[in-house]
Structure 1
């Protein structure tokens, strides 16, 4: 298939208002079919149909939940719409990144966010660990990022404030929060393997997502 034909089919897929609504949602974060149906008031079989079309056209993909293997999330493929823009969303407080232990993904996300936006950011965990993962600290150093020397895992209850824009970067946290986050990014836990490659992939994915989302958020 030529590049011209591929792009033509992708844009044809977006000719349906329902699919365009789904893409608008996915441009900010990952969502399950049931979450999409709830937000849009769309029947589940219609969501499934639209999701299949988006997947077939290379616009979105399904990723299995790291927490509940029976659940999957629909995720926009960044390369499909590198120039996709959304209307800015106002943030009353801070951007708050949440994962389970607040020892790797959310710490790295906060460090990356500070290089992309003036909106302050914090991080927290639903079940905070004892210390920041050494692999995350090393990855930050390799990529020119700064995790504060005195950084330590903190609980969501301790950190959260009214007005925070909450981004869960972990399936466990998202499913536990059950709608308490504003955006969800389904990102695998690099600490599961602890390899340099796993942490570098996490930094790369977080950078890609933050580069897309940061320009869409403005301080209230």
Structure 2
């Protein structure tokens, strides 16, 4: 009975946090990607102090967390906690002709994301980098094969050579997001930590799991024929 009581209290706190229209708007904005507090304010036409107040309430309810940018270390990005917000609906993004995943070197996260997406959704996917490396990272290839993906045709590409005007651009790293050209719209930001500096299989596996989880949340908003991601495949 104590467990049930605690569960009810937690659920009530989440519902109370979501009961304000401004906070619900913030959650909707974060449903498809991470954002800095200032970006949320600009998007929702909300003053900075009000954004800070609402983010504090959402944080205390366990709905959002903050992380510091790997690029501009003065920035912080806000992200949803999927386990807490699981029962809150997300906004529909309508039809998207293609999704392009972007990271700095196009050597790991963006390649994995495009491959996972192609198994998850019928919406076409591609990948690119703001500063492409010469080759795909060997550990990304290793993880891809372990998860049943085929990395044999993966090649690195420059953003300007890949992105088209109607593409939905998803930056899967902070640095790439901050370096995207202004005309790369619409865009979504996923603050996925770069596994390359750690350079362990575990770090690349963690990146895979993070990306797969986010795709599992986003794909149904774009494609009614989406199928669930299976982590081990």
Q: State the TM bucket, normalised to the shorter chain.
A: over 0.9
Does the CA contact (< 8 Å) of 1:29 and 1:183 recur in 2?
yes
Partners in 2 of 1:134 and 1:77 — Cα distance?
31
> RMSD of the alignment, in Å?
1.5
Does the CA contact (< 8 Å) of 1:91 and 1:164 recur in 2?
no
**Residue equivalent to 1:206:** 211
Does the CA contact (< 8 Å) of 1:126 and 1:173 recur in 2?
yes
**Residue equivalent to 1:9:** 13
Give runs of aligned pairs for residues 140-155 of structure 1, distance below 5 A.
Answer: 140-147=144-151, 149-155=152-158
Offset of 1:115 from its aligned partner? 1.2
| Deviation by residue 1:76-108 (Cα, 9 ceiling, x = unmatched) | 000012233334223442100000000000000
Matched, 1:80 2:84: yes
Matched, 1:157 2:163: no
Matched, 1:95 2:93: no
Of 156, 167, 171, 2:170 maps to 167
Does the CA contact (< 8 Å) of 1:91 and 1:165 recur in 2?
no
**Where does the alignment leave 5 or more consecutive residues of structure 2 unmatched?**
225-233
How many residues end up aligned between the 2 structures? 218
Q: Which runs of 4+ in 1 moved over 4 A?
A: none
Partners in 1 of 2:147 and 2:52 — Cα distance?
39
Partners in 2 of 1:202 and 1:116 — Cα distance?
17
Give runs of aligned pairs for residues 1-220 of structure 1, distance below 5 A.
Answer: 2-147=6-151, 149-177=152-180, 180-181=184-185, 182-218=187-223
Does the CA contact (< 8 Å) of 2:96 and 2:222 recur in 1?
no
Offset of 1:146 from its aligned partner? 2.4
**Where does the alignment leave 5 or more consecutive residues of structure 1 unmatched?**
none
| Deviation by residue 1:85-137 (Cα, 9 ceiling, x = unmatched) | 33422344210000000000000000110111000000000000000000100
